[in-house]
Amino acid sequence: MSALPKIGLDIGSASIKLAELAPVGKKWKLLTMASIPSPANWMSNQKANSSLVVSDIIKLCKEAGVHGRRVVIALPEEQVSSHIIELPTMEDAEVEQALQWQVEQYIPMPLDQAVWSYQIVRRDTVGNGGIEVLVAAVAKSLVEFYRSVAESSGLEVLALETELMSTARSVLPANPQLALVVDIGSNSTDIGLVQNGNLLFTRAIATASNAFNRAIETGLGLESSQAEEYKNTYGFSNNHMEGKLTEVMAPVLNMIIEEIKKTIDFYSTKHHGETVKFITLSGGAAAIPEIIAQISTKLGLEVNMADPFARVILDESQKKAIGITGPFYSVALGLSMREI
């Protein structure tokens, strides 16, 4: 592991977040972290809004007082095509060559317009033996965009990876238990099955934190800013507003829970006898009051709030500043923890 600090940069639809860590033994020391609202609706036309994104990244780095320029960047999960491909038993060196003949049928773009990578996630578990490989592909144009805005901001890009990969790295130890990471962002919820630090299966759905806001606005006739405040202050607590917030937000949460169930059922059906032991909830929505209890009750599983700072050395002022916002930085911290 390099002893040099790295910046993790998470350019989201609602906010841009960064965290800079320096390795200290098997832990990391937090040098700085910060966030800033993203340019409004910038993802609808990334090319036209690139200068706005660059300006905000430069501003954020200056305000945070970053120490270095080396950066790892997140790719939005909803724009990454991920699939599990089954192959006969073969040596690791043969896998890439075998995938060359199959990968194009699994990705929604011509192979010459894609950047793809793979990871062997299981061996000798398919039928009478074989391997399972997780393949992730993304458009070259998207990779070039993120690389361009970072370099235009004066940063040196070391790597790019998916949001779920970085989240899993920051919030879960390398544990043999099968776990589910649910990252509820502003516009999408990312779901990933993780075991021994490896992603086994991923999916992204277009129901997330902003959908709670819209449900509150419509159901209670509130303005957007007030809906956001009520969601973050009272959440699913039935001790406030006579449970009306829970009532209007429940259909949105049920949609997310249904997708979690489908993910668990799909994997358990394919791999008999393997069950999810617990769920880790990440993203800004993890801090919504009582959301963890709601999900746990409806799924009958242990659900905990992600703690991406579990292996990060913090001083007292940093601990106080973080408060309950820890899951908000899961992606940025995981990016900074990536070994290069």
DSSP string, 236-271: T-TTSGGGHHHHHHHHHHHHHHHHHHHHHHHHHHHS
Q: Where are the domains of the chain?
A: 6-213+245-337
For the domain made up of 6-213+245-337, the CATH class stated in words is alpha beta
| Closest to 260 (Cα-Cα) out of 211, 209, 319, 190 | 190
The identity of residue 94, as a single letter, is: E
Provide the pLDDT for residue 91: 87
pLDDT of residue 210: 94
Please, are residues 161 and 335 in contact by the beta-carbon 8 Å criterion?
yes
Full-model pTM: 0.90
Distance from C-alpha of 79 to C-alpha of 274, rounded to nearest angstrom: 29
pLDDT digits 0-9 by tens, 19-36: 999 999 889 999 999 999
Burial of 226 (0-12, 13-18, 19+ CB in 10 A): middle
Both tokens of residue 138? 């993304």
Read off the pLDDT band of 176 (50, 70, 90). confident
DSSP state of 45: G
Q: Which residue has the higher pLDDT, 207 or 124?
A: 207
Task: Summarize pLDDT for 102-143 with one digit per residue, the tens.
Answer: 888 888 899 899 999 998 888 865 555 788 899 999 999 999
